Amino acid sequence: MSRFKRTFLTLALLTFTGISGWTAALAANAKNPNSELIIAQQTDAKTLDPSMTTDVYSQNLTLQIYDRLFDWTADVKLENNLAESYKQVDPLTLQVKIKKGVKFHNGDELTAEDVKFSLERASKSGAVSSFMAIVDKVDIVDPYTVNIVTKKPFGPLVGNLAHGSGAILNKKYVEGNPDKAFFEPVGTGPFRFDSWKAGDRITLKANKEYFRGAPGVDSVVFRVIPEGTNRSIALETKEVDVVFAIYPVDTDIVRSKDYLVLHEVPSLSTTYIGINFNKKPLSDLRVREALAYGIDLQSIADTAYQKAAIVADSFVPPAVMGVNKDLKYRKRDVAKAKTLLTEAGYKDGLDLKIWVNENPARKDAAVIMQDQLKEVGINLSVETLEWSSYLDRISKGEHDLFILGWPTSPDPNETMYPIFHSSNFGFGGNRSFYKNERVDELLDKGSETLDIDARIPLYQEAQKIVYDDLAVLPILYPSDFMGTQKYISGFEPTPRSVFLIRNVKKNK
């Protein structure tokens, strides 16, 4: 046989094989077209170690892989998850009975040893100290019962245990595989880890033996699509099934298609300007006030956020228990802002820098502020940073100003303690490095008080102090937009900006 014929036959065989493989893949998909759910989000997970991060992109992964003793439902109510029942034994001790027969993805049964290991490990992590450092120790009563002992009485404990950092790990697996435990994680959750292509996608497979029932899809792919409009276009062209974050500027892309659904939820979140108290001149209250009076928040809500936000009167959103309704945002007053700058010794103006991430609404907000503050005498430069670098650098205090959001729960402790208590400088949440002894005292008393009605006045006083101090400059309470294909069911929008997807189905 000639070389030409051999080459031709080889090419023909390869082509046939390729077509056959492609046809087989199509056939397999035709048998089960609804098996894979593709979700787009802005950035990759920073880590799959739930004790090392509080960002929503990482939590959207860890919430699927791991379980917690308790969970927040989509309508922001607490429910038992791994916990069968619980009771407050004394002011320092919460006794939790664990559900029997729950299996980790590797087949190991979950026991009290895993709960003790996980919560004590999380309590020592600086990254989640504002949620978990209150745990002093976990005593094992029997293989399915633990006593969670706190360092002091702590009213919000059950809510904190529902946070992503309260994930229950497999003690034996983590201790036996320290190098890969969080690159190939093992949990009890509705989805098992499958693969991670850094910067591109993480793939999870359904845990068919999940104790709360098998998930609605066989696998889920979390795709990284950094640019907001590209995420919306990927939904429009049916490359993805769900987009967790649709930016206000892109909502019309989704609204215009009858095969797509746009979900809008007023979020339990505050978008704010963080102010570095460790840097002059920002340590001067008059400069902070000049900033506040130099900015028109309503124009930012209307323009940068396409009217999909409410101007923030204080840091605490209206839906949080105990919001101080006496606080009102500072309306723009250029003359007052100039006077304050002059009194602070900056009659000729000053230069400041504000950092933002890739969120287009935040970038637009910063540019609007830049123009408005010129009239006051503040030259504001705007710098955009990649998400991981952004979080790291503002946590280290390298910034002047930054724009960030803080998603919370209805409990005022989760709203205020991480951001304003001085024990949480940097990675703990207090990235303004703000310290006020009276605020620390009030937040401590608020968390130590078990009666919610008695806690409310303490948080209201703390809100007034951080408002007067301009510990941060709240901008607005945004709506969250999510997009899905119309054939998606079981997707529950939530105001907490993180999602549980075990009930999501594709119904093509």
d(CA 360, CA 130): 29
Nearest residue to 385 (alpha-carbon basis) of 374, 401, 407 = 401
DSSP states of 5-67 as a string? HHHHHHHHHHHHHHHHHHHHHHHHHHHSTTSEEEEEESS--S-S-TTS---HHHHHHHHHH--
pLDDT attached to residue 26: 37
> In the chain, where are the structural domains located?
1-31, 36-43+178-267+480-506, 58-174, 269-478
pLDDT attached to residue 7: 36
Residue 72 CA: distances (Å) to CA of 52, 112, 216, 315, 492: 20, 22, 20, 22, 12
Residue 115 CA: distances (Å) to CA of 139, 148, 175, 420: 10, 10, 14, 29
Bond into 281 cis (ω within 30):
yes
Which pTM does this prediction carry?
A: 0.76
Contacts 24+ apart (CB under 8 A), 340-345: 340/286, 340/287, 340/289, 340/290, 340/293, 341/286, 341/287, 341/290, 341/376, 341/377, 341/378, 343/286, 344/281, 344/284, 344/286, 344/287, 344/290, 345/281
Q: What CATH fold (topology level) applies to the domain 269-478?
A: Dipeptide-binding Protein; domain 3 (3.10.105)
Nearest residue to 150 (alpha-carbon basis) of 189, 96, 194 = 96
- Listed in sequence order, the residues at least 6 apart from 76 whose beta carbon sits closer than 8 Å to its beta carbon are 268, 409, 410, 494, 495, 496
Tokens at 289, concatenated: 């006030």
Tokens at 490, concatenated: 């079981």
d(CA 288, CA 275): 8
pLDDT along the chain (508 residues), means of 10: 37 36 38 79 91 87 97 90 96 97 98 98 87 94 97 91 95 94 96 96 97 96 93 96 91 94 90 96 96 96 91 92 92 97 94 93 95 96 92 94 90 92 92 97 92 91 97 94 95 87 91
d(CA 338, CA 344): 10
pLDDT attached to residue 282: 96
Q: How many residues are there in the chain?
A: 508
109 DSSP assignment: B
Write the secondary structure of 407-460 as one string of H (helix), E (strand) and C (coil): ECCCCHHHHHHHHHCHHHEHHHCECCCCCCHHHHHHHHHHHHCCCHHHHHHHHH
CB 156 within 8 A of CB 88: no
d(CA 241, CA 391): 28
Through-space distance between the first and last CA atoms of the chain, rounded to whole angstroms: 51
pLDDT attached to residue 307: 87
CATH of the domain spanning 58-174? 3.90.76.10
213: left (phi over 0), alpha (psi -120 to 50) or beta: left
Three-state secondary structure call for residue 136: strand
d(CA 463, CA 263): 31
Second-level CATH architecture of 36-43+178-267+480-506: 3-Layer(aba) Sandwich (3.40)
